[in-house]
């Protein structure tokens, strides 16, 4: 825990909390504040334990908020973007809201892997792509989504998507966004009306999974909103509240025939129960393919809804979960308590 705290390892956010005796505050492991000496620290498994021990929540990492949730100082800007996603924001606009453009830039780079201006441009281009795919006029699409000239729109469009606006009508488009859960933020991707991606944002294989999905679907991804994303968020909320056992969101899961069989098998595992990789391979009619089954489980891009967390080792040990063993344990405990 000391090593994780000093390296600001976000993978341990939610696993434990670090309290500082000299200041009386407690933090997430990823807190950016200066790290005090180890003999001034103590660790707690839950927020509740830290609070009952007399510690106050840190104002920088805000351990009482859902992990990855936007800070209060940014909420006004995000709300305005949602209200008018075609608007072009400049640094002067941010200053009028009392925001430091550098601070906004750092938050978007940390949470979306792009600057604020790149984020809003990608979002506007994604909306323009959707309009073009639905038969919209190219020039109208450019001006309606905040571009001052068609040439500027064309250059930005081709840079992001790799094709010109005119050749994009057949381009598949995946809308992505983040949602927040008790286990941390998740990246959600939707193709048309179907969910194709649901992964924890701190998964180390996330970038690889995204590239594989783009290759399989031959698609582009842009940030945005979707009714399906809202539905996924709502269904996950009721799942974590112990009020849902099954999900009914439409899915698209491109993969090999073997992967498809493995993923279909995962969805047949009853809520609150577990199986082993060996048993899973046997049910597929290929008992010798235990490692191949495990690899296919690891390639699952829609976690929780396709419940690869319900597969454990033959010896009963928890293993092989891309989101982290602690999350796997949490999910299994949640389902066991809900049954």
pLDDT digits (tens, 9 = 90+) for 274-327: 999 999 999 999 899 999 999 999 999 999 999 999 999 888 888 888 888 888
Q: Which domain holds residue 80?
A: 67-166
In angstroms, the Cα distances linking 85 to 96, 165, 225, 269 are 18, 20, 10, 41
Rg (CA), the chain: 22
pLDDT digits (tens, 9 = 90+) for 189-229: 999 899 999 999 888 888 889 889 988 998 888 888 889 99
Q: Are residues 32 and 145 in the same domain?
A: no
Q: Are residues 98 and 42 in the same domain?
A: no
Q: Are residues 124 and 228 in the same domain?
A: no
For the chain, the domain total comes to 3
Domain final position from 13, 28, 57? 57
Instruction: Kindly state whether residue 62 falls inside one of the protein's structural domains.
Output: no
192: tokens are 């048309």
Residues acting as catalytic residues: 308
Q: Are residues 305 and 192 in the same domain?
A: yes
Local confidence band at 234 (pLDDT 50, 70, 90 cut-offs): very high
Model confidence, pTM = 0.70
Rounded to whole angstroms, the Cα distance separating 300 from 118 reads 29
Q: Are residues 127 and 211 in the same domain?
A: no
Of the two residues 172 and 292, the one the predictor is more confident about is 292
Local confidence band at 52 (pLDDT 50, 70, 90 cut-offs): confident
pLDDT digits (tens, 9 = 90+) for 107-125: 888 777 788 988 888 888 8
What are residue 29's phi and psi, to 5 degrees? -60, -30
């Amino acid at each position: 825990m000391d090593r994780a705290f000093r390296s600001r390892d976000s993978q341990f956010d939610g696993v434990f909390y670090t309290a500082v005796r000299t200041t009386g505050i407690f933090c997430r492991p990823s807190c950016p504040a200066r790290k005090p000496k180890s003999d001034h620290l103590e660790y707690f498994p839950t927020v509740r334990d830290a609070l009952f021990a007399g510690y106050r929540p840190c104002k920088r990492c805000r351990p009482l908020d859902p992990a990855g949730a936007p800070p209060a100082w940014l909420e006004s800007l995000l709300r305005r973007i949602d209200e008018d996603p075609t608007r072009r924001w400049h640094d002067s606009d941010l200053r009028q809201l009392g925001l430091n453009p550098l601070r906004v830039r750092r938050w978007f780079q940390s949470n979306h892997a792009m600057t604020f201006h790149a984020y809003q441009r990608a979002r506007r281009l994604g909306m323009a792509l959707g309009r073009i795919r639905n038969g919209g006029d190219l020039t109208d699409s450019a001006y309606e989504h905040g571009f001052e000239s068609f040439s500027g729109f064309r250059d930005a469009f081709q840079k992001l998507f790799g094709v010109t606006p005119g050749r994009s009508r057949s381009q598949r488009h995946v809308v992505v966004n983040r949602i927040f859960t008790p286990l941390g933020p998740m990246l959600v991707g939707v193709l048309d009306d179907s969910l194709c991606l649901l992964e924890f944002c701190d998964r180390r294989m996330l970038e690889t999974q995204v590239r594989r999905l783009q290759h399989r679907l031959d698609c582009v991804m842009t940030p945005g909103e979707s009714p399906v994303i809202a539905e996924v968020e709502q269904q996950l909320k009721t799942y974590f509240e112990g009020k849902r056992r099954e999900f009914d969101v439409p899915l698209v899961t491109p993969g090999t025939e073997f992967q498809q069989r493995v993923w279909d098998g995962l969805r047949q595992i009853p809520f609150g129960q577990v199986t082993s990789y060996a048993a899973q391979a046997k049910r597929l009619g290929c008992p010798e393919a235990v490692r191949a089954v495990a690899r296919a489980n690891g390639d699952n891009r829609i976690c929780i809804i396709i419940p690869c967390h319900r597969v454990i080792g033959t010896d009963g040990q928890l293993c092989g979960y891309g989101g982290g063993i602690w999350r796997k344990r949490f999910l299994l405990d949640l389902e066991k308590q809900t049954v």
